[in-house]
Structure 1
Amino acid sequence: MTVQPTVPALEAAFDVVVALGELADHGDTRAGHRRVIPIVGGAIDGGLQAEILPGGADWQVVRPDGAIEIDGRYTARTPEGEYVYLQVSGVRTADPGILDALLRGEPVPPEDYYFRTAIRFETASPRLKHLEHALYVASCVRDANAVRYRTYRVT
Structure 2
Amino acid sequence: MTTTPPTPGLEPAFEVEARLGRLEDHGTTRAGHRRIVPIVGGHVHGLFEAEIMPGGADWQLLRPDGAIDIDTRYTARTAADEYLYLRTFGVRSGPPEVLQALLRGEPVDPTQYYFRLGVHLETSAPRLAALQHSLFVASAIRHTDRVRYTAYRVT
Residue type of the partner of 1:137? V
What is the alpha-carbon distance in structure 1 between the residues aligned to residue 81 and residue 3 of structure 2? 44
Q: Which runs of 5+ in 1 are unaligned?
A: none
Q: Secondary structure at the match of 2:81?
A: coil
Deviations 1:93-119 (A, max 9, x none): 011111111111111001000000000
Instruction: Write the distance in 1 (CA, Å) between the matches of 2:131 and 2:47.
Output: 11
- 1:1-155 superposed matches below 5 A: 3-155=3-155
d(CA) in 2 for partners of 1:42, 1:132: 21
* Seq. identity, %: 60
Q: Which consecutive segments of 4 or more residues in structure 1 shift more than 4 A?
A: none
Q: TM-score, normalised by structure 2?
A: 0.97
Q: Aligned letter for 1:115?
A: F
How many residue pairs match? The answer is: 155
**Paired letter, 1:44:** V
Q: TM-score with structure 1 length normalisation?
A: 0.97
Which stretches in structure 2 are left out of the alignment for 5+ residues?
Answer: none
**1:137 alignment partner, SS class:** strand
Superposition RMSD in Å: 1.2
1:35-71 deviations in whole A, cap 9, x for unaligned?
A: 0000000000111100000000000001111110000
1:101 & 1:10 partners in 2: Cα distance? Answer: 31
Q: Which SS does the other structure have where 2:102 is aligned?
A: helix
